[in-house]
């Protein structure tokens, strides 16, 4: 009886249902310890398993866990016990579980001993009846530790209970195999739905009904009519979409449109060809919206109708606004180019690839003679745009060829393009058009609209070479000129002014000209035999620009003499001297944090991603650590090489704002056992690992923050905040199974790094906010400053001034006026204020011979001075820049505190070096920054 109900409910799954029912048997029968079910997404795996359990077992006999929702082992264990005990967290039980379970050992013990719900009731698991644990989206278990899958597959053996673990996944079991081996489960595959099964599933959404025809009798829509509509949906969308849920959505969306002619009386039920022809434009439009919906069917149809009523310009503006608000373009830099290449491959015939994308295509001539293939035409006789014909499938090799043709950069070997393709497929921006079992090549289709890809392309910044051509076009042309002459002028310009620059080809230059002048038109003018192509709408500027844009740009970037002053390298911390940078970023020691130069600050114009991959520094090779056992020297040398590569990868990922969790987990889970033994048991090796971590963290800090006021993008700020809040959990999970001594050392230096990173991010944000106000409101700030009473500030600070009276403080307050005047005249920026505060702290507030208590008192005195200054500003009538001064002084106070902390850290480090000379802590990561000095000694 149950079998017949389930077969009727799930078409095409009779074999799988019968197999599962046979394996499960009666509740008291012994079953297999584990079953692994895999198949394509939307193939009925989860629905079938859940329906079988609901119809054959009591709710407390099985637990259903979604591994995306329960993303930690603790959540997985506790939710399992709660469901087996039929326990629901609620207000009455304070939303707590039956028992806290932190690891697999406690989970096994709870199953063996049972769980006491109260004094009279204890729940036993698997002693008389089988208990089932269903893990949906089981591929996420691979991110929860290397031993968890192994333990779950042998859960019945470990507990001695009758328990069956069912894993449901979209990947094959070979991807789950762990290094130590695992119990092989029974593997069951859910194949893709056939056409007959798909049509039957779509038909289940409709019942035989009557529709009212305008001005006529009601018409009956029987199963035959619905089957015909379902076959149309399958035939049109099956090549682009294998997702049964998406097909059901499209069927529900398009069915009212399909039967609209019947309601209007324009067609009959038997005229299926006419109904199909009338609905065909709507089917084509729906193809472009596959997988991209964000609303329900009714809302989507309403929005589509509204867009159809707008003209092209209004629709484009609306789409651009929605794209910006919804964050459609939050993709990595190279992924955007990959998506553009996929769109070009999907909508352009392969025969045009050489013409469009060959780098030497300007030498090719048009083939004479012969006809050309006729383009498809619409009902009005005009040519149809390729976008309206729908995307075509393409091999992945063709997409990569276009990608490497349109990208200007030379990609490094470390860029994993295959990973980017997988990400686009996961986001449904690319759709696989052939089966996964095919090994001879993968084929995809681009699943985005033309407006979407146009907006993605507009978000990409041009390369330096393109920027030079942009600058040349805008500087030298105004409004009509012969096309060949424009290109000849461009070649001559590069020959004279940029002899080392490789010129663009004629086709590439023409595209950039049209980008600079969007309204330009190309026409062939002249008599027969003497006609030439001309640009209409541009002419030479009068006078023409003679200064090379690149030379102007170099002059603007030339630093002042004061910015090139180098400080003595002997004052650099020990770890800085170890972290030798091979690919030098061009930063002088005077630009490091806490050591501003004595001149104007250099304005660093970083790219949007802050750091290019070519600018990532290379760490110096690590020296093999000494070991207590001389025979373990080969393992120590191998550890040094592996750890150096790991630190270099972490450095690269963090500087490129990429996720580091997989890198950390992969490294510590794949370390060979001999190396793991010396890491866990050798104190000298642990000490060396701690020093290597200091090298890594110190390098990250100094590359990310060349100065405390260096311009850093908002995206980098958000990434660093997210990284600092999550990195401790990454290491906690990755170091599971390692010794407590190693874990404590690594976590201690990591916590110092997090504290330092958070501190610098906050200071940098304050500096950028203050710099913005100085740039835009300097004149108004100067006017308000001249209105305050300096005497009132001096009277309030006289009794605790460290300058021997009010003369020194008065001089410093007068410098504020001078800085504001210089800001109005020369736009000196926040860097000059940094230098001023640095001089005040190290010349008046803190001296090298001061004690730590004196440093703390100096910071408190400065806080009093700041409050007096802000009080006077608040009393100024009609002050328009009070908020700007508050931001500026908030940064100044923060920087003073930062310099005080650095001074305390240097004193603690000097004391530790004198007590223990063989252990030199790095200045940036001295334990006194956030922890007592004895925590790392």
Q: How far apart are CA 582 and CA 619, in angstroms?
A: 7
Mean pLDDT over residues 190-207, rounded? 82
Label each residue of 340-407 as H, E or C.
HHHHHHHHCCHHHHHHHHCCCHHHCCCCCCCCCCCCCECCCCCECCHHHHCCCCEEHHHHHHHHHHHC
Is the bond preceding residue 911 a cis peptide, omega within 30 degrees? no
Which pLDDT value is given to residue 933?
32
Q: How far is CA 86 from CA 79, 97, 101, in A?
A: 10, 11, 17
Q: Where are the alpha helices (DSSP H) in 656-682?
A: 661-669, 673-681
Which pLDDT value is given to residue 189?
92
537 falls in which pLDDT band (50, 70, 90)? low
Classify residue 446 by its DSSP letter.
Answer: E
Kindly report, residue by residue over 831-875, the tens digit of the pLDDT: 888 888 888 777 767 766 667 777 777 777 777 777 888 888 888
| Cβ neighbour number for residue 798 with a 10 Å cutoff | 12
| Radius of gyration for the alpha carbons in the chain, expressed in angstroms and rounded | 35
Which pLDDT value is given to residue 620?
81
87 falls in which pLDDT band (50, 70, 90)? confident
Of residues 668 and 506, more confidence is placed in 668
Run of H or E including 123:
strand 122-123
Q: Which of 536-550, 656-670, 730-744, 907-921 has the lowest mean pLDDT?
A: 536-550
All residues at 6 or more sequence positions from 596 whose CB lies less than 8 Å from its CB, including other chains: 590, 707, 831, 834, 835, 838
pLDDT at 58 over 70: yes
Domain boundary assignment for the chain: 2-190, 195-309, 325-364+385-458, 464-555, 573-760, 762-929
Q: How far apart are CA 639 and CA 647, in angstroms?
A: 12
| Cβ neighbour number for residue 117 with a 10 Å cutoff | 14
pLDDT at 823 over 50: yes
Q: How far apart are CA 677 and CA 682, in angstroms?
A: 8
Of residues 158, 90, 92, 85, the one with CA closest to residue 122: 85
187 falls in which pLDDT band (50, 70, 90)? very high
Cross-strand partners of 533: 524
Same fold, 2-190 and 464-555: no
Q: How far apart are CA 517 and CA 525, in angstroms?
A: 20
Q: SS3 of 720, please?
A: helix
pLDDT at 778 over 70: yes
Q: How far apart are CA 152 and CA 166, in angstroms?
A: 10
All residues at 6 or more sequence positions from 117 whose CB lies less than 8 Å from its CB, including other chains: 85, 87, 98, 123
Cross-strand partners of 534: 482, 523
326 falls in which pLDDT band (50, 70, 90)? very low
Asked if 512 and 469 touch (Cβ cutoff 8 Å), the reply is: yes
244-258 and 272-287 helices, crossing angle to 10°? 130
Mean pLDDT over residues 691-698, rounded? 89
Which pLDDT value is given to residue 915?
54
The domain 464-555: what is its CATH number?
1.10.10.10
Q: SS3 of 153, please?
A: helix
Q: How far apart are CA 709 and CA 770, in angstroms?
A: 10
59-86 CB burial, b ≥16 within 10 A, e <16:
eebbbbbbbeebeebbbbbbbbbbbbbe
pLDDT at 30 over 50: yes
- The C-alpha angle 587, 592, 595, rounded to 5 degrees, equals 125
804 falls in which pLDDT band (50, 70, 90)? very low
Kindly report, residue by residue over 364-420, the tens digit of the pLDDT: 444 444 445 555 554 544 455 555 567 888 888 888 888 877 776 555 444 467 778
Asked if 721 and 778 touch (Cβ cutoff 8 Å), the reply is: no
Which pLDDT value is given to residue 302?
53
288 falls in which pLDDT band (50, 70, 90)? low
All residues at 6 or more sequence positions from 538 whose CB lies less than 8 Å from its CB, including other chains: 477, 478, 479, 480, 481, 517, 520
CA 266 to chain centre: 52
pLDDT at 83 over 70: yes
Of residues 304, 234, 232, the one with CA closest to residue 274: 232
Q: SS3 of 680, please?
A: helix
Of residues 42, 51, 68, the one with CA closest to residue 190: 42
Which pLDDT value is given to residue 876?
80
Q: Which of 93-97, 393-397, 922-926 has the lowest mean pLDDT?
A: 922-926
CA 47 to chain centre: 32
550 falls in which pLDDT band (50, 70, 90)? very low
Mean pLDDT over residues 8-34, rounded? 89
pLDDT at 170 over 80: yes
Mean pLDDT over residues 555-571, rounded? 32
How long, in residues, is the chain?
A: 937
Q: Which of 145-159, 444-458, 479-493 has the lowest mean pLDDT?
A: 479-493
263 φ, ψ to 5°? -65, -35
Percentage above 90 pLDDT, the chain: 6
Q: What is the pTM of this model?
A: 0.38
Of residues 271, 237, 269, 266, the one with CA closest to residue 251: 237
Q: SS3 of 82, please?
A: helix
- The C-alpha angle 34, 37, 41, rounded to 5 degrees, equals 155
CA 167 to chain centre: 29
Cross-strand partners of 482: 534
3-state helix, strand, coil in the chain (%, to 5): 55, 5, 35
- DSSP per residue over 291-328, as a string? T---S-HHHHHHHHHHHHTS-HHHHHHHHHHHHHHHTT
Q: What is the mean pLDDT of the chain?
A: 73
pLDDT at 447 over 60: yes
Per-range mean pLDDT, top range of 343-347, 480-484, 861-865: 343-347
Please enumerate, as own/partner, the contacts of 179-184 that have beta carbons within 8 Å and a separation of 24 or more: 179/146, 179/670, 180/147, 180/150, 181/150, 182/149, 182/150, 182/153, 182/154, 183/33, 183/34, 183/150, 183/153, 183/154, 183/157
Kindly report, residue by residue over 610-649, the tens digit of the pLDDT: 566 667 888 888 888 888 788 888 888 889 889 989 999 9
Q: How far apart are CA 442 and CA 377, in angstroms?
A: 31
Q: Which of 14-18, 180-184, 476-480 has the lowest mean pLDDT?
A: 476-480
Which pLDDT value is given to residue 64?
93
Architecture of domain 2-190: 3-Layer(aba) Sandwich (3.40)
**Is domain 325-364+385-458 annotated with CATH 1.10.10?**
yes
Q: How far apart are CA 521 and CA 505, in angstroms?
A: 20
User: What is the torsional sign of CA 68, 74, 77, 79?
Assistant: negative
pLDDT at 559 over 50: no
Percentage above 70 pLDDT, the chain: 71
Which pLDDT value is given to residue 38?
93
């Amino acid at each position: 009886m149950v079998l017949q109900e389930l077969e009727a409910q799930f078409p095409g799954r009779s074999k799988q249902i019968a197999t599962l029912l046979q394996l499960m048997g009666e509740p008291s029968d012994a079953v297999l310890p584990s079953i692994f079910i895999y198949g394509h997404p939307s193939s009925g795996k989860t629905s079938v398993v859940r329906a079988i359990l609901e119809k054959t077992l009591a709710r407390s006999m099985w637990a259903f866990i979604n591994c995306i929702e329960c993303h930690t082992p603790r959540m997985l264990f506790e939710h399992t016990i709660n469901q087996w005990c039929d326990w629901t967290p609620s207000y009455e039980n304070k939303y707590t579980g039956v028992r806290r379970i932190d690891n697999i050992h406690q989970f096994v013990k709870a199953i063996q001993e049972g769980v006491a719900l109260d004094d009279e009731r204890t729940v036993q698991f698997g002693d008389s009846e089988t208990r089932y644990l269903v893990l949906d989206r089981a591929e996420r278990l691979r991110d929860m530790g290397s031993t968890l899958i192994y333990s779950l597959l042998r859960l019945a053996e470990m507990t001695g209970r009758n328990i069956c673990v069912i894993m449901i996944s979209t990947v094959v079991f070979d991807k789950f195999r762990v290094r130590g081996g695992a119990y092989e489960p029974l593997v069951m595959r859910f194949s893709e739905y056939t056409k007959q099964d798909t049509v039957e599933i779509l038909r289940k959404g409709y019942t035989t009904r009557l529709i009212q025809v305008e001005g006529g009798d009601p018409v009956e829509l029987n199963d035959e009519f619905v089957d015909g509509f379902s076959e149309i949906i399958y035939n049109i969308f099956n090549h682009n979409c294998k997702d049964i849920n998406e097909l059901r959505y499209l069927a529900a969306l398009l069915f009212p449109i399909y039967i609209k002619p019947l309601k209007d009386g324009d067609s009959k039920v038997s005229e299926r060809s006419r109904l199909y022809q009338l609905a065909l434009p709507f089917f084509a439009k729906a193809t472009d919206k596959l997988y991209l919906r964000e609303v329900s069917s009714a809302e989507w149809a309403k929005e589509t109708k509204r867009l159809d009523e707008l003209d092209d310009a209004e629709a484009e503006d609306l789409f651009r606004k929605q794209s910006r608000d919804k964050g459609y373009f939050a993709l990595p830099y190279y992924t955007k180019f990959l998506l553009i290449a996929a769109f070009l491959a999907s909508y352009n015939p392969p025969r045009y690839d050489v013409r469009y994308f060959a780098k030497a295509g300007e030498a090719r001539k048009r083939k004479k003679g012969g006809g050309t293939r006729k383009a498809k035409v619409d009902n009005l006789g005009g040519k149809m745009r390729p976008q309206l014909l729908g995307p075509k499938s393409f091999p992945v090799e063709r997409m990569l060829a276009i990608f490497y043709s349109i990208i200007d950069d030379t990609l490094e070997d470390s860029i994993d393009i295959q990973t980017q393709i997988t990400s686009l497929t996961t986001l449904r921006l690319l759709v696989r058009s052939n089966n996964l079992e095919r090994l001879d090549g993968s084929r995809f289709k681009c699943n985005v609209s033309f407006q979407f890809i146009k907006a993605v392309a507009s978000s990409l910044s041009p390369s330096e070479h393109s920027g030079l051509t942009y600058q040349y076009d805008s500087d030298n042309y105004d409004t009509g000129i012969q096309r060949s002459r424009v290109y000849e002028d461009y070649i001559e310009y590069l020959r004279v002014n940029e002899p080392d620059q490789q010129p663009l080809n004629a086709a590439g230059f023409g595209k950039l000209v049209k980008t600079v002048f969007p309204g330009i038109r190309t026409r062939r003018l002249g008599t027969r035999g003497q006609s030439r192509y001309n640009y209409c709408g541009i002419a030479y500027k009068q006078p023409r620009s003679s200064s090379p844009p690149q030379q102007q740009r170099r002059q603007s970037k030339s630093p002042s003499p004061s910015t090139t002053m180098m400080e003595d390298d002997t004052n650099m911390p020990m770890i800085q001297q170890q972290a030798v940078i091979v690919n030098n970023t061009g930063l002088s020691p005077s630009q490091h944090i806490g050591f501003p130069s004595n001149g104007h600050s250099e304005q660093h114009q970083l790219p949007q991603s802050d750091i290019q991959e070519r600018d990532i520094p290379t760490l110096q090779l690590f020296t093999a650590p000494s070991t207590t056992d001389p025979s373990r020297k080969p393992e120590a040398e191998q550890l040094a090489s592996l750890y150096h590569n790991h630190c270099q990868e972490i450095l690269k990922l963090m500087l490129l704002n990429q996720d580091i969790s997989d890198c950390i987990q992969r490294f510590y889970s794949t370390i060979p056992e001999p190396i793991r033994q010396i890491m866990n048991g050798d104190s000298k090796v642990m000490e060396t690992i701690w020093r290597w971590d200091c090298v890594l963290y110190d390098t990250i800090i100094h590359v990310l923050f060349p100065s405390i006021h260096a311009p850093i993008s908002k995206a980098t700020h958000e990434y660093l905040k997210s990284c600092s809040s999550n990195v401790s959990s990454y290491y906690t999970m990755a170091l599971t199974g390692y010794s407590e001594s190693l874990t404590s050392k690594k976590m201690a230096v990591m916590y110092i790094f997090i504290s330092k990173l958070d501190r610098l991010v906050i200071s940098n944000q304050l500096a950028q906010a203050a710099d913005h106000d100085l740039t835009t409101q300097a004149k108004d700030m100067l006017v308000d400053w001249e209105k305050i009473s300096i005497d009132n500030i001096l009277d309030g600070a006289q009794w605790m001034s460290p300058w021997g009276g009010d003369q020194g403080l008065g001089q410093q307050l007068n410098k504020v006026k001078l800085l504001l005047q210089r800001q109005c005249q020369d736009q000196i920026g926040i860097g000059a204020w940094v230098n001023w505060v640095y001089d005040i702290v190290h010349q008046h507030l803190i001296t090298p011979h001061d004690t730590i208590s004196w440093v703390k008192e100096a910071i408190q005195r400065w806080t009093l001075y700041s409050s007096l200054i802000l009080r006077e500003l608040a009393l100024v009538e009609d002050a328009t820049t009070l908020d700007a001064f508050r931001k500026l002084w908030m940064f100044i106070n923060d920087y003073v505190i930062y310099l005080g902390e650095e001074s305390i850290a240097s004193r603690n480090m000097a004391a530790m070096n004198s007590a223990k000379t063989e252990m030199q802590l790095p200045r940036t990561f001295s334990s006194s920054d956030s922890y007592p000095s004895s925590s790392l000694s």
